[in-house]
Structures are given as C-alpha cells and as structure tokens.
Structure 1
Amino acid sequence: MSWFRCVETRPWASLRLFCFPHAGGSAVFYRAWAARIGRAVEVHAVQYPGRADRLADPLVDDAHRLAAMIAGAMAPLLDRPAALFGHSMGAVVAYETARLLQERGTPPVHLFASGTRAPHDRDDDRVAHLDDDGLVAEMVALGGSDAEALRDPELRELVLPYVRNDFRLIEEYAHRPGPRLAVPVTVLVGDADPRVTPEQAARWTEVTDGAFRLEVLPGDHFYLVPQQSKVIAQVQRDLAVPAGP
C-alpha cells in the first residue's frame, strides 16, 4: 500500500509538498489543501500504517523507523524539489525525515513544523498509558476529535489502538545527535496551544543552520483548522509559489 495520498497529480507543478498528520490523524486531514494551495504545488499527504485504508498494515511505534520508511518511499518522488509540513507528532516525524533526506543528498527545500516543541525539547506528558476514557478525554481536550463520535464503542475499538500507538511513538521519541539541518524552517503555533508556547516553539531555530521563521496564529492545538487559509498563505510565501487555485 502506498505511503502517500495525492488528490490531484500535477506534472507541471514546480514542487511537491509532503504533509505529515498528527497523532491519531490520517492523510484525509490535508485533503482540502490541494485545491487551496495553488496548482504550482503537488500535495502528497502521508498515510501512516494501521489506520484508514491502511488499517490492516502493522503499526509503527518508533519515530526514527517511521521516518526511515517514509524517506525510502519518497525516493521516487524526489525528481522535483520537495517541502515537508508536519503538525504535532507529524512535525517531529517530518524533521527526522528531513534529516535522512539531507544525509542522502536530497534535502527538502523547506521544513514547516506546526504545533509542537523542538525535537530536542520534549515535554513530560504521558498519555499512551491512560485507559480508553482517559485517552478520549485527552483527544477531546486537544480539540482534534469529536467527543460524541468517540462515545461509540465500535468506533473506539477501531480508532484507539492507532491513537495510543501514536502517543506512545511521540512520548518515547528521543532526539539523536547529528548534523544540523541546512534548510529553512518555518514554525507555526497557536497562541493558546496548551502543549507548546511560542517561546518553546522558537527553539526549533537550534536544529537548523538555514533561515528560521516563527509564526504565531490565534487558536489552540488545532489552530490550523480555522486558520487554514493563513497557514496555506504562509506556506505559499515561504515556498515562493503563486497564491490561489
């Protein structure tokens, strides 16, 4: 099963944007981006195993191994410049993927890290060990899930295994020493995010020798849903691609 979901292939596009979902997320989170980011960009959303149309595929609970698998799958798609965008857990996986691509001589042209602390500055929150009710409560508190839907026992049985896996992945992630990135990094964060402050997000500047930008937008952990147009506009500006469809 393919690692990427591309709503519209664009042979004429000047670059590809690979989008990495949050913990418990899937490629559908970025489905609307292709239509809104403009025809100069071909959007590929990462589909992690163990969910959605990859439900039968084994889960991966190690960020370094997941990044290696994604970087390998990206190889045939690197005939054009590539940028990476990751939200929350996805930002860390995107960062580790960027490190591997740089090591292999095909670095991304830009890394966008959204809604998370710098990879070498992790928090001590632990969620993966909670019972089902506690895990659902945490998801609802972050603002990314429908509380009513998660009261459905059948839906819980389907969703919670990969949600718990993803929380375990990010909670057990440890940054490994190595060369700094040499690519531009833009960090975006909501001003009311309970998981990361703008000051904590600013520490991403310590992992790159490239240009660095921090953008703070109104909202909580999932600020990028109501602020989608502003997030996409920032991506367009940083990638120097035309705005609009």
Structure 2
Amino acid sequence: MTEGATGGWFPSDIGTGSAEYLLFCFPHGGGGASAFRHWKAELSPRIEVVPVQLPGRESRFTEPLLTSAEAVVTALLKPLSAHAREPFALFGHSMGALLAYEAAVALTEQGLPPARLFASGHHPPHLPNATPALRGATDQEFAERLADFGGTPAELLDNPVMMDCLMPRLRADFEICETYRHSQRSPIPVPITVFAGREDPAVDVSELGRWGELTTEGAEVHILDGGHFCHVGPNEAGVREILAESLEGTSQR
C-alpha cells in the first residue's frame, strides 16, 4: 500500500502483516508518529501499531498545520474509516486523547465504533479545561510550561534555533486543545481505558472517573506514578501490558 493510499496519515505498510488487531495511536501536542515507533516491536505480535501522522510534522512537515479538533477529525475520518478493519482500537496521549475520542465519536456515527478507546493524560473532554491557556503567550512562557509538563529535553528547550522551528507546531496543537468545545451527544458504545499520572499538572485525577459519562460500556481508570508523560519511562511496560490484555480480550464483532 502506498503512502498516497493512506494520505500520509499512516505508515505505508498498514495492514500487510498477520496481526489480528489494529491500534491507531494519536500523538501528544507537538509530537509525531515517531513517538510510537518502538511500540511496533514491543507490543504483542497480535496487535499492529498504526501511528497517526498529523499534517505539519515529520514526514508531513511541509503541509499546513491544523488548529482545531474538528479540522483534524474531518480530514482524518475518510482514510481512518477506510483502513480500520475490525477489531481495532484508538490510543491517544494528551492532545492525542482528545483527538482519539472525537475520532471514536465520528466513527461510531458511521457505524464503525472502535473496540476500545485508550485515553492517556487528558481530562474528560466534556469538563472544562482547567489548565491556564497559552494562546498569546510569549515563546519563553511556552517553554516554561513545556518544562512543567516534562517530556521535552532541557537541551531542546534551551536551543533557540530548534524552538523557533518547533514553536508553530506547538502553538497549533495548544490551540486545538484550548479552543475545543464538547458538543452534547449520546454516550458512545465503546469501553474506555484511562491512564494518568498522580503528579500531572494538566489533569485532576479525582475527575477521571467521569470519562465513564461518555460511554455506555464503562471506563477503567489507571492512576500511575509520575507526571504528564506517565505512560512512558518506568510505567511503559505496564501500560503496554494493559493495552494488550484489554484489546486481546475484546471479542470480535
């Protein structure tokens, strides 16, 4: 399958292996598909990891950035529905969790609900975003907030040339999150598994159970040690194990 067939959103070899399940993975704000490259080798061989590549980053660096969740999902829906063979699931971290949820809603409306939604590092989308907005912030204020979240190497934050290159992408992604407004709709028939760090400055862990209000199939919450990027580092093997157990336990429809 060529990149043209996937629109650049997914790896060109999607669906060519013998895996039984597809796991579409949405990156965090400022991130790209490479964030999930090692998962392809480290998850169960029964699961094919399909990183989602948004416009304006990595292999799609020259393409215009999108600045709203609606724009991303509208552009992604056709290629995603074309390649999402059942059973499949969606995983997203931070901004990616928001996009994965909206994609799950859109797919459900088309009669193609995912077997499971994995949401990491994000508050329930129907609740207000309590994190102070960064629209209009200076580059220095942006860098300081990124340092609070962790996950960005200090040598990158201290490199003006690299930050100048990354700043448009970061601002576009923060705009996606800060301008998002949840629209009233029925809960989706998709079970949700939630991950979050106890020390995450962007998430109130006491509210995470309210992800369950967005589904008819229940929400399972895992509170992990660490901050915003709790799904990687020491917790990563455990997160991958939960992903595999949850997805492999899904009965095929």
TM-score category (smaller protein): over 0.9
Inter-partner Cα distance in structure 1 for 2:128 and 2:200? 15
**Over 3 Å off, 4+ runs:** 5-10
* 1:96-245 superposed matches below 5 A: 96-124=102-130, 125-226=132-233, 227-240=235-248
Matched letter for residue 161 of structure 1? P
1:183 and 1:68 map into 2 onto residues whose CA distance is 20
In the aligned structure 2, how far is the partner of 1:229 from the partner of 1:28?
18
Mapping of residues 65-76 of structure 1, within 5 Å: 65-76=71-82
Name the SS of the counterpart of 1:145 in structure 2: coil
State the Cα deviation string for residues 125-156 of structure 1 (Å, max 9, x = none). 20132111111111111002112122222211
Letter in 2 for 1:224: H
In 2, Cα distance between equivalents of 1:176 and 1:38: 36
Equivalent residue, structure 1, for 2:4: none
Which 5+ residue runs of structure 2 have no aligned equivalent?
A: 1-6
Q: Quick one: which amino acid aligns to residue 246 of structure 2?
A: D
Provide the rounded CA distance (Å) in 1 between the counterparts of 2:25 and 2:12. Answer: 10
Matched residues in 2 for 1:161 and 1:121: separation? 27
Task: Output the CA distance in 1 between the equivalents of 2:242 and 2:15.
Answer: 22
Superposed CA RMSD: 1.5
User: Residue 43 of structure 1 corresponds to which residue in structure 2?
Assistant: 49
Percent of matched pairs sharing the same residue? 35
Q: Secondary structure at the match of 1:5?
A: coil
Q: Which residue of 2 aligns with 1:23?
A: 29
How far 1:68 sits from its partner (Å)?
A: 2.0
Count of residue correspondences: 241
SS at the partner of 2:108? helix
Q: Distance in 2 between matches of 1:6 and 1:40?
A: 19
How far residue 8 of structure 1 moved from its aligned partner, in angstroms, is: 7.5
Relative to structure 1, is the Cα distance of residues 7 and 35 closer, same or farther in structure 2, using a 3 angstrom cutoff? Answer: farther
Q: Structure 1: state its 5+ residue gaps.
A: none
- DSSP-derived class of the 1:4 partner: coil
1-structure distance, mates of 2:58, 2:38? 17
Scaled by the length of structure 2, what TM-score is found?
0.91
Asked if the contact 1:59–1:165 (Cα under 8 Å) also holds between the matched residues in 2, the reply is: yes
Code of the residue aligned with 1:229 in structure 2: it is A
Helix, strand or coil for the counterpart of 2:154? Answer: coil
Q: Contact 1:190 / 1:216 at 8 angstroms: preserved in 2?
A: yes
- Pairwise CA distance, 1:92: 0.7
